[in-house]
Amino acid sequence: MHKLNVLIFGPSSFIATLDELKPFLKFNPFTDNLNKEYEVIIIHHEALKDKNSKNFIEKSSAIKIYASRKKDSSCSYDAHLELPTSLKEINAIVENIAAKFKFSKNSSIKIKNYLLNKNEKKLYKQSNFVILTEKEIQLLELFLKEKKAISKDNILSVVWNYSADADTHTVETHIYRLRKKINDKFHDEKFILNNKEGYYLWKKETRLQKIYLQLSIEKESLNQKKVKGVLKERKIN
């Protein structure tokens, strides 16, 4: 079983106690190797008196557990460990907070410059968000998984499992509502696009794609001019 790497900040007495308990801890405690990657940091309240420790803690992206006799509402950490504590309590809080954040991380999916939180059923763009239905989440997951346009029939098969009360009109309605929801909130008309093959998530055009598109437009324009020229020269009998 994988043991979490936990960095400990605190006075020598606090660190010495944890060191004695090391064989019984359900995590790997470290006190001096700041170059290692840590999933959790336990911060004894006295550690914040040291400026260098405080700066390191604030910059770290690890899960932070604040250990003190009283909960400090001014401290914006992920969990509080009340002192004095026990071996059972310290093992439990590390395992619980790590499991909670792992679940939260697994439930979040990045889509372009958005963040889909499946647990909250919300699509975020910075601090703004829209609330999604379960079907809308399934649609976004399908679009994200597939790298090309998906037909209505394929969407119906995957998302609705060819339910008797669903047809291609059901797909169109759900996608229309999802598009409208995103456009109303984020003013993003290109989030979901469609062509003759089906629906897909918009991706930023590469330089080559832009050149190809421009050449296609110029070619079409040239063809139209040729047609007009032929029509002008054609004699009417």
Confidence of residue 234 (pLDDT cuts 50, 70, 90): very low
What is the architecture of the domain spanning 109-201? Orthogonal Bundle (1.10)
Q: What is the pLDDT of residues 112-156, one digit of tens each?
A: 888 888 877 889 888 789 999 989 999 998 998 887 899 999 998
Q: What is the amino acid identity at position 167?
A: D
Where are the strands (E) in 106-236, listed by range? 108-111, 114-117, 122-125, 128-131, 192-195, 198-201
111 DSSP β-pair partners:
114
Q: What are the boundaries of each domain within the chain?
A: 4-106, 109-201
Q: What is the pLDDT of residues 27-74, one digit of tens each?
A: 999 988 777 778 899 999 999 999 999 888 888 878 889 999 987 666
| Residue 43 structure tokens | 């911060």
Q: What is the pLDDT of residues 64-108, one digit of tens each?
A: 899 999 876 666 688 899 999 999 999 999 988 877 776 656 677
Please check whether residue 182 is in contact with residue 191, taking contact to mean a CB–CB distance below 8 angstroms: yes
Please check whether residue 194 is in contact with residue 200, taking contact to mean a CB–CB distance below 8 angstroms: yes
Biggest distance spanned by C-alpha atoms of the chain: 108
pLDDT tops 60 at residue 11: yes
CATH for the 4-106 domain, from 3.40.50.2300, 3.40.50.10680, 3.20.20.70, 3.40.50.970 = 3.40.50.2300
Asked whether this chain's domains 4-106 and 109-201 adopt the same fold, the reply is no
pTM for this predicted structure: 0.47
